[in-house]
Amino acid sequence: MRAAPPNAPRRLGFQAFPRAAGAMAIGVLAACTGVIHDPEGAARPDASVAIPGPLLLRRLTNAEYDRTVRDLLGQTTRVSADFPADAKVFGFDDGAVSLTISPLHAERYRDAAERIGAEVTASPARMASVVGCDLTGTGRAPCLARFVGSFARRAYRRPLVDAEVQGLLHVADVAADDPDRNAAVALIIEAVLQSPSFLFRAEFGAPDPSRPGLYRLGRFDLASRLSYLLWGTTPDDALLDTAQAGTLDTAEGLAQTARTMLADARAHEGLAAFYGQWLRLYTLATVHRDATQYPSWSPELSASMSEETSRTVDDLVWRDGANFLDLLTGHATFLDGRLATLYGLPPPADGTWARTDLSDHPERGGLLTQASYLTLTAHSEGSMLIHRGKYVREVLLCETLPTPPANVPTIPAPVPGETDVERLERHRSDPSCNGCHRLMDPVGMGMHRYDSIGAFHLVDAQQRAISQAGTLYGYTPPDFDGPTELSRRLRDLPEVSQCVVRQVFRYAFGRAEVMTAAGDLPQIERTTERFRSSQYSFREMLVSLVASDAFRYGRPAGGGS
Amino acid sequence: MKPFRLNRRALLRGAGAAIALPVLDAMLDDRGRLFGRADAQPRPLPVRLITFHWPNGTVMSRWLPTATGASYALTPCLQPLSGYTLPDGTAVPAMRGDVNVISGLENRVAALGVTGGGHIRALGAFANGMPMLATSAGGISLDQVAANAIGSATRFPSVPVAVQPAITENWDGATAAIFNNLSWAGPDRPVPADRDPAVLFNRLFAAQPSASAAERVARYRRSVIDYVQDDWTRLSTRIGRVDRARLDEHLSSIRELEREIALAGAACAAPSAPGDTQALSGDAFARLMMRLLVTAMRCDLTRFASFQLYHPGNLYPWLGPAWTNLERHGLSHRTDAEAVELNTVATQYNVAQFAYLCSLLKASLEGDGTMLDNALVYMTSEVGEGSTHTYDDLPILLAGKGGGRVVTGRHVRYAPGRSMSDLFVAMLNYAGVPTTRFGHDGMAGITQLEG
């Protein structure tokens, strides 16, 4: 297969997926070596106009459900544990297209709602905070009405129309003669938590005469978009009040509100929900290692690996003036005793987490030398170099690699005495394998000195020196020596900073970005430009995205109404 | 051979608790007819359909019998059909006489899938016979065709079951949804499986409250459903066509709950709950899920099910020390002598689990025979030859007499060109769902099963 010329444009296109047009666009490279030119974009040279995507109907993800009922009703158990799992698409669990619903969902939502209703009404403390008025005697009716008004407004993330209030009060009436005076509250909770208005984030919007064909999102639609993006959970009363006051009607108001929200503690959890999926840190929870081969392995070590990267990202997101691209090249990290031992560094003085300077340890520094990445990509000893390369391509460069075609031979079993690198070279000697694997394996080879739990070795078990020579085909110059040089190279690639924006975009909008001039490319370029001009401030990039047309406008989905 | 009767101890042996088995015979009159229902009319026993999937194919040279007909010799992979003993000493009787080995049928549409590797393309068509889509199986699976047509006779139109945790990551180049679901109501409409014995138990057999409390629960639930339907109506007038389709799924799911309320109370006496299942080894866990499913069928809570025995990436550590870190998918692609032996052992394990499920059905006496006589259990993998992902000769086992019409105990081999969907046409007809076509290329039912 033909290699892409080094100076060719390296943009990798997404093809719209026709069946679910408007709901999702996902695509793969038609071939691993080519550059996909986008015919739609070519036909529409005016790339200056950002075209907002479709308005979506998104079911709450299971994680969003848990955080939402916690914030609404003080539910601290992970109720969604029994729900059918959400499948991730393009890396995130909030893709509208994957948020299906089934009779089993309905059953589990009912069971969860009944459990939450029973637990809330059985707890005087929770009743006081959720209801807060007297349900006996003449005060009962106004108390229920007050509860419906406040609770359902927060649960539906918008004010209610009269019919909705009356409907809920009617539900309460059904329990009027229940010996348990709180039964009406439980029933209202059950009804609200099973309603589509709660379970789905519906975006309505209204036509904007000044922007033909586009809908401007309503102020409460925007409050939900902001809240689930920045906090990962439901809007609170203050945010709904801000929306009701009209503050979110302007781009400036949105930006100002986003800044306020980012200063709230909930934003730490909300953004962690994003980067935990983007960087695939959550997969560490299910990694296993053979205790005889890796005596230091433990679930606690795995949790520490995730924590190191989380603390690194948090530092880069929340420290004023931090350059987010230091994720790749930073000379400091956060270690506890376990990780320090794994890295061969002195443990922190009090054994717990401490910022650690890595200037004297050239083998560490940046995500690609962190145990999280090095471990979660090592599904098996034999395939870790492949997956380390694949991660760089997919997670950091936003390339979409095609899947192995049907009926391909698999990676050959090792021949005695053969190194992993030799074995993968043997595999790539088959041209049908080389086409794609040349993109992955030679990148991963740069991280070959790190074993499958991220410990660093200069020699292998047979005392042979381990090479860290790697190649990033498609970029100039392709060759690099080890993760430090690769990371420095990646940091300078416009594809990488744009990829951060693209990942945020997927998460924010619940769909794959369409990298065409008629799709999402103009907006992504604008947001990337703001990312760059802010010296890669992650928060500034977010603020510019939420104030953008892509966030404020949408096209009516699926044939409109 | 004397069919072994499932007893209290057998049902939950290994799980630390005993289930009191409700006896379906109690729901039958002496001619094997159902009674005790509002519409009690003498009628034939219902035919149950179960689709059963194991991952990673097999070694076809160790699977395929050379002879056809009733006198075929069991190949190494099929040995568990001659009976075996579980680790706890329980004998699983020979099921060979109740099973047909079916070969030669093709999963042709696997090649038409839009994305993904050899496993996902084939699994995307499993039991639905349609080319997979990027985010979903391509069509409705046969258990759901039956559930839609006649599943409303029972409290649960279908009960999909899986024994491994759901995955959330793409696998083999496509959405996890395809690996997590055998049962599909249509494209982008997975019917998710139950995966936790305690949750499944509660779903099927949750303690019935007293009559007055049950009336109150039903009244409360109805009022909630009425409200939710009103909410749906308000919302659906305001959103676009595509979104409305998704919201419609929610509404139909809510209506399903309403139907369940109407049928609540028709269930049989509840068995006791499974105990702590955390400590169970994977094989015992799978058998526990099978016992729950078969108990649900004995109680006539459902007649249609799918059963997924692992994900291609799962390990089989309970098979012995050599299997502790042996990734099954990788193993299935190896063709060295050691791998052929190990892949044979893995297939034997899968067949043994299938035989166990069949033995539970056979131990459930109903009418003049057993529940297996009134069932069809379809078992295969997404591919034939595991190492090369073949789709042209699926390793199928079909257990049960389908209400008495299917002659079992044979190897039935089809000449090239017949689709697995042709078998699905026949199965649906045996189950009482008149069908002439199925999936992408199921054009005519297979009749050779009748002898």
Do A464 and A421 touch, CB atoms closer than 8 A?
no
pLDDT at B28: 45
Residues on chain A touching B133 (C-beta within 8 angstroms) = 19
A380 assigned to some structural domain: yes
Helix (H, G, I), strand (E, B), or coil: what is residue A459?
strand
Same domain, A339 and A229: no
pLDDT band at A41 (very low <50, low <70, confident <90, very high): very low
Residues on chain B touching A402 (C-beta within 8 angstroms) = 173
Mean pLDDT of the A401-422 span:
71
Same domain, A170 and A268: no
Poorest-pLDDT segment among A73-82, A414-423, A542-551, B359-368: A414-423
Same domain, A478 and A430: yes
B64 assigned to some structural domain: yes
Do B389 and B57 touch, CB atoms closer than 8 A?
yes
A-B Cβ pairs (cutoff 8 Å, strict): 209
How many whole angstroms separate alpha carbon A527 and alpha carbon A510? 17
pLDDT at A402: 74
Residues on chain B touching A59 (C-beta within 8 angstroms) = 246
Same domain, B188 and B300: yes
Poorest-pLDDT segment among A32-36, A340-344, A371-375, B30-34: A32-36
Q: By residue range, what is the domain housing residue B434? A: 8-202+281-450
A128/B445: higher pLDDT: A128
Same domain, A330 and A235: no
A319/B443: higher pLDDT: A319
pLDDT band at A421 (very low <50, low <70, confident <90, very high): confident
* Structure-block tokens of residue B193: 């499986």
How many whole angstroms separate alpha carbon B146 and alpha carbon A17? 31
Same domain, A259 and A300: no
pLDDT at A419: 78
Mean pLDDT of chain A: 87
B362 assigned to some structural domain: yes
Mean pLDDT of the B417-445 span:
93
Same domain, B249 and B310: no
How many whole angstroms separate alpha carbon A113 and alpha carbon A143? 21
Mean pLDDT of the B191-199 span:
92
- In tens, the pLDDT along B24-55 reads 333 444 444 444 444 444 457 899 999 999 99
How many whole angstroms separate alpha carbon A80 and alpha carbon A67? 10
- Alpha-helical (H) ranges within A202-356 are 219-230, 237-244, 251-262, 266-278, 299-318, 326-329, 337-343
A271 assigned to some structural domain: yes
pLDDT at B270: 61
* Structure-block tokens of residue A287: 């990694």
pLDDT band at A157 (very low <50, low <70, confident <90, very high): very high
Same domain, B259 and B294: no
- Amino acid occupying residue B126: F
Do A184 and A175 touch, CB atoms closer than 8 A?
yes
Sign of the CA dihedral with A182 first, then A184, A190, and A196 last: negative
Give residue A25's region: left, alpha or beta (phi > 0; psi -120 to 50): beta
pLDDT band at B276 (very low <50, low <70, confident <90, very high): confident
pLDDT at A405: 62
pLDDT at A49: 52
Mean pLDDT of the A318-339 span:
96
A511 assigned to some structural domain: yes
Helix (H, G, I), strand (E, B), or coil: what is residue A250?
coil
Helix (H, G, I), strand (E, B), or coil: what is residue A332?
strand
Helix (H, G, I), strand (E, B), or coil: what is residue A519?
coil
Share of chain A above pLDDT 70, in %: 88
pLDDT band at B169 (very low <50, low <70, confident <90, very high): confident
How many whole angstroms separate alpha carbon A238 and alpha carbon A231? 14
- Residue where a domain stops, chosen among A491, A507, A532: A491
- In tens, the pLDDT along B321-334 reads 888 878 788 888 88
How many whole angstroms separate alpha carbon A234 and alpha carbon A227? 6
Residue ranges of A 62-121 with Cβ closer than 8 A to chain B? 82, 84-89, 93, 97-98, 100-107, 110
B171/A496: higher pLDDT: A496
* Structure-block tokens of residue B295: 């108990």
- Residue where a domain stops, chosen among A434, A458, A491: A491
Residue A248 has pLDDT above 90, yes or no: yes
- Per the document, the length of chain A is 561
How many whole angstroms separate alpha carbon B274 and alpha carbon A200? 34
- Residue to mutate among A83, A282, A293, A410, with most B CBs inside 10 A, is A410
Residue A152 has pLDDT above 50, yes or no: yes
Burial of B169 (0-12, 13-18, 19+ CB in 10 A): middle
Subunit contact B227:A195, Cβ cutoff 8 A: yes
How many whole angstroms separate alpha carbon A460 and alpha carbon A477? 28
Contacts of A28 (CB under 8 A, 6+ apart): A400, A401, A402, A403, B115
Residues on chain B touching A98 (C-beta within 8 angstroms) = 135, 175, 177
Same domain, B365 and B425: yes
Residue A523 has pLDDT above 80, yes or no: yes
Residue B80 has pLDDT above 90, yes or no: yes
Give strand pairing partners of A92.
A89
Least Cα separation, residue B275 to chain A (angstroms):
17
- Residue to mutate among A90, A104, A561, with most B CBs inside 10 A, is A104
How many whole angstroms separate alpha carbon A220 and alpha carbon B82? 65
Mean pLDDT of chain B: 84
Least Cα separation, residue B119 to chain A (angstroms):
8
* Structure-block tokens of residue A165: 């209030």
B1 assigned to some structural domain: no
Same domain, B185 and B330: yes
- Per the document, the length of chain B is 451
* Number of Cβ atoms within 10 Å of the Cβ of A77: 13
Does the structure's ipTM exceed the value 0.85? no
Residue B187 has pLDDT above 80, yes or no: yes
Residues on chain B touching A403 (C-beta within 8 angstroms) = 115-117, 120, 172-174
Residue B233 has pLDDT above 60, yes or no: yes
Do A366 and A324 touch, CB atoms closer than 8 A?
no
pLDDT at B205: 83
Least Cα separation, residue B408 to chain A (angstroms):
33
How many whole angstroms separate alpha carbon A530 and alpha carbon A545? 9
Burial of B73 (0-12, 13-18, 19+ CB in 10 A): exposed
Same domain, B196 and B218: no
B443/B161: higher pLDDT: B161
Residues on chain A touching B113 (C-beta within 8 angstroms) = 406
A112 assigned to some structural domain: yes
pLDDT at B185: 94
How many whole angstroms separate alpha carbon B66 and alpha carbon B17? 44
Least Cα separation, residue A551 to chain B (angstroms):
18
- Amino acid occupying residue A28: V
Do B256 and A103 touch, CB atoms closer than 8 A?
yes
How many whole angstroms separate alpha carbon B36 and alpha carbon A334? 68
Mean pLDDT of the B277-281 span:
82
- Residue where a domain stops, chosen among A431, A464, A491: A491
pLDDT at B135: 81
How many whole angstroms separate alpha carbon A397 and alpha carbon A375? 20
Same domain, A337 and A478: yes
Same domain, A76 and A163: yes
Do B349 and B283 touch, CB atoms closer than 8 A?
yes
Dihedrals phi, psi of A317, to nearest 5 degrees: -80, -40
- Residue to mutate among A407, A432, A433, A555, with most B CBs inside 10 A, is A407
- In tens, the pLDDT along B296-330 reads 998 889 999 999 999 888 888 889 888 887 878 88
CA-nearest residue of chain B to A85?
A: B166
Least Cα separation, residue B73 to chain A (angstroms):
30
Domains held by chain B: number: 2
Q: Which of B190, B243, B389 sits opposite A102 (nearest CB)?
A: B190
Subunit contact B231:A196, Cβ cutoff 8 A: yes
How many whole angstroms separate alpha carbon A512 and alpha carbon A238? 31
Burial of B358 (0-12, 13-18, 19+ CB in 10 A): buried
pLDDT band at A422 (very low <50, low <70, confident <90, very high): confident
Q: By residue range, what is the domain housing residue A171? A: 58-95+102-201
Contacts of A476 (CB under 8 A, 6+ apart): A6, A7
B272 assigned to some structural domain: no
Residue A290 has pLDDT above 80, yes or no: no
pLDDT at B202: 85
Residue A125 in contact with partner chain B when CB distance is under 8 A? no
Same domain, A47 and A168: no
- Neighbouring C-alpha atoms within 13 Å toward the C-beta of B124: 34
Same domain, A28 and A169: no
- In tens, the pLDDT along A99-108 reads 888 888 999 9
CA-nearest residue of chain A to B315?
A: A288
HEC string of chain B equals CCCCCCCHHHHHCCCCCCCCCCCHHHHECCCCCECCCCCCCCCCCCCEEEEEEECCCECHHHHCCCCCECCCCCCHHHHHHHCEECCCCCEECCCHHHEEEEECCECHHHHHCCCCCHHHHHHCCCCCCCCCECCECCCCCHHHHHHHHHHHHCCCCCEEEECCCCCCCCECCECHHHHHCCCEEECCEECCCECCHHHHHHHHHCCCCCHHHHHHHHHHHHHHHHHHHHHHHHHHCCCCHHHHHHHHHHHHHHHHHHHHHHHCCCCCCCCCCCCCCCCCCHHHHHHHHHHHHHHHHHCCCCCEEEEECCCCCCCCHHHCHHHCCCCHHHHHCCCCHHHHHHHHHHHHHHHHHHHHHHHHHHHCEECCEEHHHHEEEEEEECCCECCCCCCCCCCEEEECCCCCCCCCCCEEECCCCCEHHHHHHHHHHHCCCCCCCECCCECCCCCHHHC
- In tens, the pLDDT along A426-450 reads 888 887 778 788 899 999 999 999 9
pLDDT at A25: 34
Same domain, A557 and A436: no
Which of A82-91, A378-387, B135-144 tops mean pLDDT? B135-144
Give strand pairing partners of B48.
B375
Residue A531: name the closest of A323, A327, A328, A330 by CA: A323
Q: A393: which DSSP letter?
A: I
Mean pLDDT of the B76-92 span:
95
A209 assigned to some structural domain: no
Which of A70-84, A345-359, B39-53 tops mean pLDDT? A70-84
pLDDT band at B265 (very low <50, low <70, confident <90, very high): low
Do A145 and A186 touch, CB atoms closer than 8 A?
no
At which residue do the structure tokens 């054994």 appear?
A351
CATH of the domain at B116: 3.40.720.10
Least Cα separation, residue B30 to chain A (angstroms):
36
A211 assigned to some structural domain: no
Burial of B66 (0-12, 13-18, 19+ CB in 10 A): exposed
Mean pLDDT of the A109-127 span:
95
Mean pLDDT of the A162-190 span:
95
A546 assigned to some structural domain: yes
Helix (H, G, I), strand (E, B), or coil: what is residue A140?
helix
Residue A532 has pLDDT above 70, yes or no: yes
Same domain, B198 and B217: no
Same domain, B139 and B233: no
A411 assigned to some structural domain: no
How many whole angstroms separate alpha carbon A469 and alpha carbon A485? 10
* Structure-block tokens of residue B164: 């491994």
pLDDT at A323: 98
Same domain, A331 and A397: yes
Same domain, B198 and B59: yes
B68 assigned to some structural domain: yes
How many whole angstroms separate alpha carbon B132 and alpha carbon B188? 10
B169/A449: higher pLDDT: A449
Same domain, B142 and B288: yes
Mean pLDDT of the B78-88 span:
95
pLDDT at A18: 29
Subunit contact B336:A170, Cβ cutoff 8 A: no
pLDDT band at A17 (very low <50, low <70, confident <90, very high): very low
* β-pair type (A469-471, A479-481): antiparallel
- Amino acid occupying residue A291: A
Same domain, A321 and A464: yes
Domains held by chain A: number: 4
Residues on chain B touching A57 (C-beta within 8 angstroms) = 239, 243, 246-247
pLDDT band at B168 (very low <50, low <70, confident <90, very high): confident
- Amino acid occupying residue B289: M
Same domain, B260 and B327: no
pLDDT at A406: 56
Same domain, B289 and B194: yes
- In tens, the pLDDT along B344-391 reads 999 999 999 999 999 999 998 888 889 999 999 999 999 999 988 889
pLDDT at B213: 80
Dihedrals phi, psi of B123, to nearest 5 degrees: -70, -30
Poorest-pLDDT segment among A158-162, A269-273, A415-419, B238-242: B238-242
